[in-house]
């Protein structure tokens, strides 16, 4: 078991605070209108701290986008895992996906801004990476389901 040092824990908490602040600002103000100064102020850190974790605003947006997409994938997977039959599993996964992308205005805003902020090609790459992660989940789920049947 690895124990995190105080510095590593603080670094992780700081990065998380920057991501959360940036996510709220990007959703509220948009990518173009949000500055690194705004993010630093909202996260209650220095501008240098933001740049320590992220090379530029586009890198920060990508990290926020990726973080929110990973959270969504986890929510979808958790919803699906509560069921062992295909239709209820699909229904729960779809409900979780729609909740995260349609009902959640902040996430919806990030999805709408991503092509302009990151470029269409980078968005496709990220989608492919998320698809691979969800495929890995499906393989894991099917393995657990098969083991439960035996």
For residue 104, give both structure tokens: 């959640």
Q: What is the pLDDT of residue 148?
A: 57
Q: Give the mean pLDDT of 74-87.
A: 90
* pLDDT of the residue at 103: 87
Phi-psi group of 75: left, alpha or beta (phi > 0 → left; psi -120 to 50 → alpha; rest → beta): alpha
**Average predicted confidence (pLDDT) for the chain:** 88
What is the reported pTM? Answer: 0.81
Alpha-carbon separation of residue 37 from 11, 25, 138 (angstroms): 19, 11, 41
**Average pLDDT value for residue range 92-109:** 90
- The pLDDT of residue 40 is 98
C-alpha span between 67 and 35 (Å, rounded): 19
Q: Provide, rounded to the nearest whole percent, the portion of the chain with pLDDT above 70.
A: 86
> Residue 131: CB partners within 8 Å, gap ≥ 6?
none
Taking only the tens place, the pLDDT of each residue in 26-78 is 999 999 999 999 999 999 999 999 999 999 999 999 999 999 988 998 898 89
Contact, 34 vs 23, CB < 8 A? no
How many separate helices (H) and strands (E) can be counted in the chain?
Answer: 7, 0
């Amino acid at each position: 078991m690895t124990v995190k040092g105080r510095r590593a824990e603080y670094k992780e908490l700081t990065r998380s605070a920057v991501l959360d602040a940036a996510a709220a600002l990007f959703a509220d103000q948009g990518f173009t209108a949000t500055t690194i100064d705004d993010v630093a102020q909202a996260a209650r850190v220095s501008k240098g701290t933001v740049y320590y974790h992220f090379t530029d605003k586009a890198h920060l947006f990508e990290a926020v986008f990726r973080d929110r997409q990973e959270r969504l994938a986890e929510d979808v997977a958790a919803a699906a895992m509560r069921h062992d039959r295909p239709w209820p599993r699909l229904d729960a996964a779809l409900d979780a996906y729609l909740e995260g992308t349609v009902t959640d205005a902040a996430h919806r805003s990030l999805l709408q801004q991503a092509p302009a902020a990151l470029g269409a090609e980078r968005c496709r790459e990220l989608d492919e990476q998320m698809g691979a992660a969800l495929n890995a989940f499906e393989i894991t789920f099917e393995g657990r389901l098969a083991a439960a049947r035996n």
